[in-house]
Chains A and B, each alone.
Chain A
Amino acid sequence: MKMRYLLTLLFIGFFLAGNAQEPTKTAISSKEAKIVDEINLSDADIEVFKEQTKQKVDEFQQHIVTIGSKEQPAEKRNMAEKEALKLFFKGAEMQTSVISPDGSVAIQSRPMEKYLARLKSLPFTAVVIKFYDLVYISSFTKGPDGRYYSSATVIQEFTGFTGDNISYRDVTKKEIEIVIDLVEDKFFNEKKWKVFLGNIKATETKKV
C-alpha cells in the first residue's frame, strides 16, 4: 500500500513538472495575417485567439477591481468604467442570478453600463473584489457573420465591508461571451482580428 502512494506521489511530480512548462508563444502578428484567409482554425490559431482572449478578460477583471474599490479616487474609477465599456460590444448585458435560501433563483438582466455604474455605488464602506487564477476559454466557432465566437469563465470573490466588519461576501462564476471580429486598423491600413466581450451571465455559487 505504501508503495502505491509513493508511486502516486512520483506520478504527481512528473505530471506537474510536465505542466509547469510555458506553452511556446506564437508570433501573433504573422499569424494574424494568415488567419484572415482561413476558414478553419488550426490549433495554433486557436492558441493565439485564446491568448488574446485571456489578455482581454484580465483587462476587464482589473477594471472591475478598480471600479469596485472605494479607496481609489473617483476619477480613476470613472476612467476604469469608461475603459471597461470599450471592451464590450454595444448592447452587451449582464445577467445575474442569485440563489435564495429556499432554493429559488432570482434572475436580473441589466445593460453593462448600468451594471458598472451600480458597482461604483454599492452600499458598503469598502469593497474588495478578487478573481481566481483560473480562466477557462472554450474553443472558437465561426458564426455566419464571419466572426468567431467563444466563451470564457472566470470566478470572482466579492467582499463588502461596513466599517471594519464584513457585511457581505460571495463567490460568483461569470460566463463571458467572446466575439473575435476582423476590424480595420486605419493607421496601418490593414485588417486585424480584435477580441470583444459580449453578454455576461453571472451565477452566485456560494455565500461565504
Chain B
Amino acid sequence: MKFAQFQYILLLLIVFTNNSYGQQKDILSNTLITPKEYYLQVKQFGEFIDRFNYKSDWRGNLITDEFKKAIPRKNYILYLVNNEDSRLIDSKDSSYRALCSDFIAFVDDSKNPQNINLFSGQVKAFVDAQILYKGVKKHAKFELIPEVLPDRSAKWVINSVETDCFAMNSDSLLKHFIAPNSHETSFINIKKLISVSDPTYLLSKSTASTLLFINEIEKKHITMNNTEKITFRISFTGWEIVVEEFVRSTNNSGWLISDIKRL
C-alpha cells in the first residue's frame, strides 16, 4: 500500500511540475494552465477504457515504458475505482476491498490480461431519461448496446426501454400466455398471437415495454426531455463492473468504477 501511495505522489508530482506542456499549447490568449485534478479526472468514457486498457496516460498520450515502470497497470486501475465508496473504508468489513484486489489481479494477469472493447459485446449503456407521456412527467430507462455493421462502421442501438408509463392488466396476464409445456408440442399455441386482444401479453416484459413505448412514440404521445444519468455495465468472464460519472472537484473524479461483482 505504501508503494501505491508513493506512486500516487509521483503521479501528482508529474502533473504539478508539468507547466511547460500547457505553455507550448497556449494558442488562446485567454488560456489558463489546467489544474492537476482535470488531468487526473477521467473526462470521457472512452478515456476510462483507454486507461483501463493501459493504453493512454492521464494526458491521453500513449503509455510509455517510463510510465509503465513508474505506475504498473494494477496501480493505474486502482485509480479508476471510486475511492469515496464507503465499502472501501469500512473497518469492519473488508470484503469489497478484497473483491477489488481480486478483480484487479484478474485484469492484470500477465498470461491473460483483460481489456475492454466497446464493440465486442462487453459493454451496455443504461440511460435514465426524463420524458413527457401525454403531458405528464415520467421516467424511461433505455438499454443501449453498440452494434458493428459489415462495413466496420458502428452505432449505438436501443436494446430495450423500461418506463413507468404502462401498467399490465393483471387479469389479462392470467389469461394470455404461452403455456410452460408448449415446447413439448412444438409451440403449437404460438398461434394465440393472432387471436388475443393484446399480443403484447405474449412478449417478454422488456420486449412488451419497448414495443408499447415505440407505439406511443409513433402516436406522438411521448416527448423526450433530458437524459439524466448514464451507467455502463461491462462484463468479463466471471465478473461485471459498473461505471458511472462522479462529478466532483477531486483527483478521483469523472468516469469511475462504482461497483464490482463476481458473477
* A143 and B248 alpha carbons, distance in the complex (Å): 32
Contacting B at CB under 8 A, from A2-26, are: 4, 8, 11-12, 14-16, 18-20, 22
A20 touches B24 (CB 8 A): yes
B247 touches A203 (CB 8 A): yes
Contact of A175 among B10, B44, B226, B247 (CB under 8 A): B44
Known: A15-B14, A138-B44, A144-B155. A132 touches B38 (CB 8 A): yes
A16 touches B17 (CB 8 A): yes
B43 touches A173 (CB 8 A): yes
Report how many residues on chain A are interfacial, defined by Cβ distance under 8 Å. 50
* A157 and B44 alpha carbons, distance in the complex (Å): 19
User: Which partner residue on chain A sits nearest B249 by CB separation?
Assistant: A206
A20 touches B21 (CB 8 A): yes
Q: Does B46 contact A (CB under 8 A)?
A: yes
Q: What is the count of residue pairs linking A and B with beta-carbon distances less than 8 angstroms?
A: 121
Q: Does B151 contact A (CB under 8 A)?
A: yes
Binds B, one of A57-65, A76-84, A179-187: A57-65
Known: A20-B20, A175-B44, A205-B249. A134 touches B39 (CB 8 A): yes
Q: In the complex, which residues of chain A have a beta carbon less than 8 angstroms from the beta carbon of B228?
A: 105, 107
B33 touches A132 (CB 8 A): yes
* A138 and B35 alpha carbons, distance in the complex (Å): 20
A4 to chain B, nearest CB (A): 8
Known: A19-B61, A40-B152, A153-B44. A132 touches B24 (CB 8 A): no
B32 touches A130 (CB 8 A): yes
User: Which partner residue on chain A sits nearest B64 by CB separation?
Assistant: A18
A14 to chain B, nearest CB (A): 6
Q: Does B199 contact A (CB under 8 A)?
A: no
Contact of A137 among B60, B64, B249 (CB under 8 A): B60
* A203 and B35 alpha carbons, distance in the complex (Å): 17
Q: In the complex, which residues of chain B have a beta carbon less than 8 angstroms from the beta carbon of A16?
A: 14, 17-18, 20-21
Known: A15-B66, A138-B47. A132 touches B154 (CB 8 A): no
A99 touches B247 (CB 8 A): yes
User: Which partner residue on chain B sits nearest A55 by CB separation?
Assistant: B27
* A19 and B64 alpha carbons, distance in the complex (Å): 10
Q: Does B110 contact A (CB under 8 A)?
A: no
B31 touches A131 (CB 8 A): yes
Q: Does B158 contact A (CB under 8 A)?
A: no
B207 to chain A, nearest CB (A): 24
B38 touches A144 (CB 8 A): no
User: Which partner residue on chain A sits nearest B27 by CB separation?
Assistant: A58
B234 to chain A, nearest CB (A): 17
Q: In the complex, which residues of chain A have a beta carbon less than 8 angstroms from the beta carbon of B46?
A: 138-139, 151
Q: Does A102 contact B (CB under 8 A)?
A: no
A155 touches B38 (CB 8 A): yes
Q: In the complex, which residues of chain B have a beta carbon less than 8 angstroms from the beta carbon of A173?
A: 38, 43
* A173 and B26 alpha carbons, distance in the complex (Å): 19
B38 touches A14 (CB 8 A): no
* A144 and B155 alpha carbons, distance in the complex (Å): 7
B24 touches A22 (CB 8 A): yes
Q: In the complex, which residues of chain B have a beta carbon less than 8 angstroms from the beta carbon of A107?
A: 130, 226-228
Q: Does B186 contact A (CB under 8 A)?
A: no
* A129 and B249 alpha carbons, distance in the complex (Å): 19
Known: A18-B64, A109-B226, A138-B46. A146 touches B33 (CB 8 A): no
Q: Does B25 contact A (CB under 8 A)?
A: yes
User: Which partner residue on chain B sits nearest A133 by CB separation?
Assistant: B22
* A15 and B13 alpha carbons, distance in the complex (Å): 11
User: Which partner residue on chain A sits nearest B7 by CB separation?
Assistant: A8
Q: Mark B53-69, 1 if CB is under 8 A from A, else 0.
A: 00000011100101100
Known: A39-B152, A134-B38. A18 touches B66 (CB 8 A): yes
Q: Does A141 contact B (CB under 8 A)?
A: yes
Binding site for A on B (CB under 8 A): 6, 10, 13-14, 17-18, 20-28, 30-35, 38-39, 43-44, 46-47, 50, 59-61, 64, 66-67, 70, 130, 149, 151-155, 226-228, 247-249
